[in-house]
Amino acid sequence: MQKEIKKIAVFTSGGDAPGMNAAIRAVVRAGLYNHLEVFGIMRGYEGLIDNSFKTLNSKMVSNIIQQGGTILKSARSKLFMTKEGRKIAYNNLKEKGIDAVVAIGGNGTFTGAKVFQEEYNIPFVGIPGTIDNDLCGTDYTIGYDTAINTAMQAIDKIRDTANAHNRLFFVEVMGRDAGFLALRSGISSGAEAVLLPEISTHLQNLHLYLETGFKEKKSSGIIVIAEGEEEGGAYEIAKKVRTDFEDYDVRVTILGHVQRGGSPSAFDRVTASKLGVAAVEALLLGENDVMLGTKCGKVVSVPFSTVIRKDKKIDQKLYDLLTVLNY
């Protein structure tokens, strides 16, 4: 028989993403609406071990929906990766009488939640929060839309100076092993080429484009590169191009962590709010060991095992648009 849930906790873990605060707000308000006591855990799994809990009320989450970052902070915990660390975390949860947990984060966050739940049978439900949008089972992750717009606006500004000086800019965006952010920001900013880690991109193909189509049509341009691209980062690729094309004025811009910050977009705020409320409802209905995502605008429940095990694929048709749009 399922234990009645009276107290829940919420935390954010891994890289911060715009919209995490909106999700926290939704979890707290939905918990209070359902007559639950809600705790916030500071600094993710590290706070779970350090016993950094605080009771959250409605006023404490007022005026945070528009804020980037996370009021609960975030951290990575090596100690939680050990059985000893997880035992401490469990004891802290039991001491507070917490019956279930909402974890907001990415793949690493859900991996930790799955292991912990299997060991101690405490219900966990996940909300996808990462600008990379690399989690299987959901169309969008919280923070992805804001990060795309941040990158797009930065690239638009870079294009202005590229046009003014007839320069070829290599712009590196975040994504590590995932090119979703690079692809959409590249298409939306009219980039001449986008290099992704998921697609086998040989440097000679870029060279061929620069030798033929590019020179015929443009005197300046933007090449967007995902930081995990197989040929190397923006500096490495620009160095190779600069050697082979001495007549090009090649420049590099690394957008970096600016993509994680800023006020979340309306889309991220609404998505975070939907998933935050859905997470509380799922726990009350007895669901656990799942991530709540969105598919075609609907909230869906996806087992942690699926999210962790499967790689999300790039939309090949979206990538193929680049060839048409740069014809």
Cα angle: 128, vertex 145, 281; to 5 degrees: 35
Instruction: Say if CB 192 and CB 212 are below 8 A apart.
Output: no
Spatial neighbors of 136 by CB under 8 A, at least 6 apart, are 302, 306, 307, 309, 310, 311, 312
Q: Quick one: which H or E segment has residue 104?
A: strand 100-105
DSSP symbols for 135-179:
-TT-S--BTHHHHHHHHHHHHHHHHHHHHHHTEEEEEEES-TT--
Instruction: Say if CB 125 and CB 279 are below 8 A apart.
Output: yes
268, two tokens: 């991220």
**What amino acid positions are annotated as catalytic residues?**
132
Residue 164 burial (CB count, 10 A):
9
Which among 319, 174, 179 has a CA at the least distance from the CA of 260? 174
Spatial neighbors of 114 by CB under 8 A, at least 6 apart, are 124, 289, 304, 305, 308
Backbone angles phi, psi at 15, to 5 degrees: -65, 140
